[in-house]
Structure 1
């Protein structure tokens, strides 16, 4: 019998490359049931993981944008054109558009090595967010500071225990990509 493998090459249990600063395997993991009792719908964490990855990608590409309302990875090409076009003259700033496009290609190439598929995962992410929603309150509203929601192993357990089996593989891949991006920028998994 062959061991079960996910589409993500990241091993969230045994590698320190997936843990953002301040997180470690030695920390005691909060009980999933504790968080479930506090959350009205624990499936919202599935949507939050997808949402946080989408925001992380967009923040990397559109570093100069302070607001990303209406931006998704699925509509990123349209937004590249939109933000590089002067609103009054309609003239495209080709240099700025090139910078944005280059950042987009860089992040997509990095995530592709983890299994992220530019055709599949942006609409999948949108589907997950629309299906499960996102957290309505910050972690401290659930009696948690940061550890539970920013611990990759805890989030992996929530995904495994909550997600329908047909979505499990891709949700774990999204979590692996989010862990990778958090490691790259040295920030928490969830940015509030």
Structure 2
């Protein structure tokens, strides 16, 4: 695509099929990736947790994650910018930082996970004090693979509706997600609406 080239790295560990994507600007260098879209593999301050597919899979995935961190990343330069899929608030890691991006050099220095340790020691440290896995994760993965059922009527176009209009015309057959801050939601909201505040720390 012009001077841009994408290379795909298989980085299992968070999931068996996980990939990261490196972006090259070939007009500057065909050898140096300037950006890595790391998905749930490498976060700011953490790596993706390997236990979301259950107890039976977590040890094998932790082993794979060790290899991904120390084999797949070793040849990438420190200037490579890292753009992960999640920031603070996500349960896909246990210590994810609030910054939206980083560099490999910064993560190698300040993120404990890419710092080399003996294999068993690293895996033990990774699995210690892991927060509880949300119970819906396994079902969510299945739905993402198979596609969700379509629920409710077709949504209207771009017209703006008041809260009263929404409640009177569609609320009996729809699920309403209110993205305002929790304080505003607590003050007043459409009956049966669910509050998921939009913002930097949006929980996933």
The alignment's TM-score, normalised by the length of structure 1, stands at: 0.24
Q: Which has the higher strand share?
A: 2
Q: 1 or 2 for the larger relative contact order (CA 8 Å, sep ≥6)?
A: 1
Which entry has the higher C-alpha Rg, 1 or 2?
2
Q: Which has the higher helix share?
A: 1
The alignment's TM-score, normalised by the length of structure 2, stands at: 0.23
